[in-house]
Structure 1
Amino acid sequence: MNAIISMCHFCELHGPRILFCTQPFRPQEPRNELDAEDSESSYPRRVKSPSLSADSHNVTPSLPSMKNDMCEGCYSVQPGYVSHDEEAHVSYVSTQHPYHPQVFSRIRQACIRSLSCEVCPGREGPIFFGDEQYGYVLSYTFYVEDSQARGLQRSYSIVIVMMDKIYLLNSWPFLVPHLKTLKENLQARAHKVYTEEQAKCPQTTLRLNPSINPANFIQQRGGNKPARSLVELTGHKNVFKVLHFSFIWILKACGNRMTETLLEGPPTEDSIIDMEKQEETEEGFIKLYSRKISENQPEQVASEDEGCIDSDVEQEYMSKAPFIKDLRLFRKALGNSKFHTLAHHVLIGNQVIISGAEKSQVKAILAALKMLLPKGCCRAITYSNTYEESWRCNFLGLALNVPLPNHTMSTEMFILVEVLKGEGEEAPDSSLESEKSLTDNCFSSFNYRLSSPVQLPEKAPTVLQKMEMALRNENLSEEVVEQCFICIKEEWMNKVKVLFKFTKAGGSRSKEDTEKLFKVVSAQEEDKQLLKFWMTGLSVQYRTHILASSKSQH
């Protein structure tokens, strides 16, 4: 996160003052984090450890004279702390003040405004302000109890300054709760010290004494210091080191939660589906794995531990590597005719059941077959000891010899692929091979038996014909074939979008109008079942947009 985070306080003698600040430095970057063009030199950096480690740095910045006019309450650390993040190639520097004069000017401006005019109702809480010249600021103002201060409390603020207004506003839900946690920790420590001091010398009774006047107020209130440091107020001698690590975590975590992606065109349906599957936690992080287990399904819990996972987790597993090579190998092992039949079932949405004793083999087959479909159409359970209904998944991995229910055999649209050990050959040892990629001869080491109660049309969908043509062409590399599949799927998903808008958002349509639309999008009779199934894979974002715009027009 390209920002500076600072702790500020209001001194009774010097007014608003910067107390402590942390800023990131990256290789070949100027010191000025807020205005890189105005800096001519860069801060020396060292990378020591893959984890964050703190140490003091013996470089004393040249400070304006006003910074040197400090009381004990305005002082924090000298020279400061430096932490190195080798993995991200970032060094975090915490000092009393920023090194660069222009950066100091902007942080100073934010400090003054956060402790004077820019305050939220109640004078404690977050507020946003700023402009293009001095940067944008998220300020969290709060009070810390001090038995020797006027009003028995001192005013502090934590300010985050950066030039990117949109980024800072989008980070508000993440930053504010963590700043609140940090200030509550400081307040709790200060309250403990305050309670102990009040027990020894109650200030309320003492200050009602008529002998106290402006000349002897400081001496009479319990000390001769105009302000006390945060170390003394909290009773924690390493409070600034704790702040150093806290500020580092906030900057690093806030930067990691948002990423930029260079798009060469509009996002595809698959990329939109991926974004919709991401679930953000209360802390602002993205939850990658999510699985709900029902209490009344003890047997299913055991099977999930062995590899049965829901579609969200499976999608993450499947998206880590291309499986075109496995798809080609599986096609050769299965044979052209059997593969054509199986792929036809996959493309029109019939449930595909892969039954086998080797879990890794079953998972590899499912991973390869999923390359044929858009991500929104894939609902997979990779391995289970019980049959799962087709409404839950259209890709199902089953342990060998698991019986199918009678109603499934008679009414369901499915194809069963039994993975059997080849004669005279032993199946590969799943404990020695990776579950994500298999050796070249792994598919040919098994025999495959296909069975289905469904009678398929004689002519295959156009999509299948194009995909088989790409797979047969040995002159095309796996990367090229993968891109061909992406283009084919996106082309037909665009046709699905047209059909969805025509049928769902355009009101009642006659059969003749629908047939005319099929001709316009170059869809044949054999493609209708595929288009109908692929319509279920449209993103929620697109569906909501089309239906909402349709309602507004009517």
Structure 2
Amino acid sequence: MASMLISLSHFCDKHGPRILLVTQAAINGSTGDELLVPTYPTDSYCESCLLHFPKSSINDIRSLKSNIGSQCFVSTQYSSIRYQLLTLIIRRSFSEETMIYDGMPLVFYDDIRGLNLVMGFKLNDENARGNERRYCIIFTIDSTDHTSSMQLLSENWNFITGGFDRMVKYICNSHKQELERQNNVNDEKSNFNLLGKTYLRGNKVKVPRNLAELTHDELLFVRLHKWNSFLLNSCMRSSSE
């Protein structure tokens, strides 16, 4: 069976293409511990390219693991066993001249990067360079067997693209609602300060912001883990039939 994984990547203003989340299936019968990453320093990550799970009472959560039936799925900030592969994939995705960030799928394949279905989207944010933040959701089949990879992708095309489209719409709609909420808060502050003869100045400083903050959803990456696991499990079952 071909190895499949789903990743969410972001083009960070400071660090360039970075993986935010990668979901992988554990080896059959495994508890998934081989996919967990060791504790790692977060100094090299800014807020916009850092995986954000809700904080536990003991420590910051750095990975999620769950089961669908007997199959285990793990989501982490990066893949310790496919780090180089994913780095090559996201660099290709964000440098691809034909990439557009309106939810239209793009597919590319080679013997090094495997077969990849990429769906790009962007969020408006005045705190970002160019006033927008760009993201890609990527379905990867890590295999040198082009024929079987294309067959698997074609058989599951509507299912994968439909799932990605729902993810993107959820993120974009949540972000839109958060922008409206922030605008209402700012309008109230502006009205109060105008009455008090105090005038607000526009903030021109570009600051990193996490996707969970942009959507006002602390559970966003937990939802992504569940969505990704469901998609991968369905595709794995389809390929084994």
TM-score scaled by structure 2? Answer: 0.77
1:68, distance to aligned residue in structure 2 (A)? 5.2
**Secondary structure of the equivalent of 1:254?**
helix
Counterpart position of 2:226: 245
Supply the distance in 1 between the matched residues of 2:19 and 2:91 (Cα, whole angstroms): 9
Counterpart position of 2:161: 176
Contact kept, 8 Å, 2:63 with 2:75, in 1: the verdict is yes
Q: Which of 70, 73, 88 is residue 48 of structure 2 equivalent to?
A: 73
Greater Rg by CA: 1
Contact kept, 8 Å, 1:118 with 1:127, in 2: the verdict is no
Supply the distance in 1 between the matched residues of 2:33 and 2:185 (Cα, whole angstroms): 49
Count how many residue pairs are aligned between Structure 1 and Structure 2.
212
1:346-425 to structure 2, matched below 5 A, reads: none
The 1:24/1:118 distance shift into structure 2, 3 A limit, reads: farther
Supply the distance in 1 between the matched residues of 2:155 and 2:13 (Cα, whole angstroms): 35
Q: Which of 94, 105, 125 is residue 104 of structure 2 equivalent to?
A: 125
Counterpart position of 1:135: 114
Supply the distance in 1 between the matched residues of 2:32 and 2:232 (Cα, whole angstroms): 19
Deviations 1:446-497 (A, max 9, x none): xxxxxxxxxxxxxxxxxxxxxxxxxxxxxxxxxxxxxxxxxxxxxxxxxxxx
Counterpart position of 1:83: 66
Supply the distance in 2 between the matched residues of 1:251 and 1:245 (Cα, whole angstroms): 10
Q: Which of 88, 96, 99 is residue 109 of structure 1 equivalent to?
A: 88
Counterpart position of 2:7: 6
1:118, distance to aligned residue in structure 2 (A)? 5.3
The 1:7/1:118 distance shift into structure 2, 3 A limit, reads: farther
**Secondary structure of the equivalent of 1:111?**
helix
Counterpart position of 1:144: 123
Q: Which of 176, 186, 207 is residue 171 of structure 2 equivalent to?
A: 186
Contact kept, 8 Å, 1:146 with 1:152, in 2: the verdict is yes
TM-score scaled by structure 1? Answer: 0.35
Gaps of 5+ in 2: 53-60, 144-148, 188-201
1:109, distance to aligned residue in structure 2 (A)? 1.3
Counterpart position of 1:233: 214
Gaps of 5+ in 1: 30-41, 46-56, 203-218, 261-554
Deviations 1:242-296 (A, max 9, x none): 1110111111122334444xxxxxxxxxxxxxxxxxxxxxxxxxxxxxxxxxxxx
The 1:251/1:71 distance shift into structure 2, 3 A limit, reads: same
**Aligned AA for 1:61?**
P
1:62, distance to aligned residue in structure 2 (A)? 6.8
Q: Which of 38, 44, 48 is residue 61 of structure 1 equivalent to?
A: 38
Counterpart position of 1:294: none
Supply the distance in 2 between the matched residues of 1:13 and 1:248 (Cα, whole angstroms): 30
1:142, distance to aligned residue in structure 2 (A)? 0.5
**Aligned AA for 2:158?**
P
Supply the distance in 2 between the matched residues of 1:154 and 1:116 (Cα, whole angstroms): 15
Supply the distance in 2 between the matched residues of 1:201 and 1:151 (Cα, whole angstroms): 22
The 1:109/1:257 distance shift into structure 2, 3 A limit, reads: same
Identity %: 25
More strand by share: 2
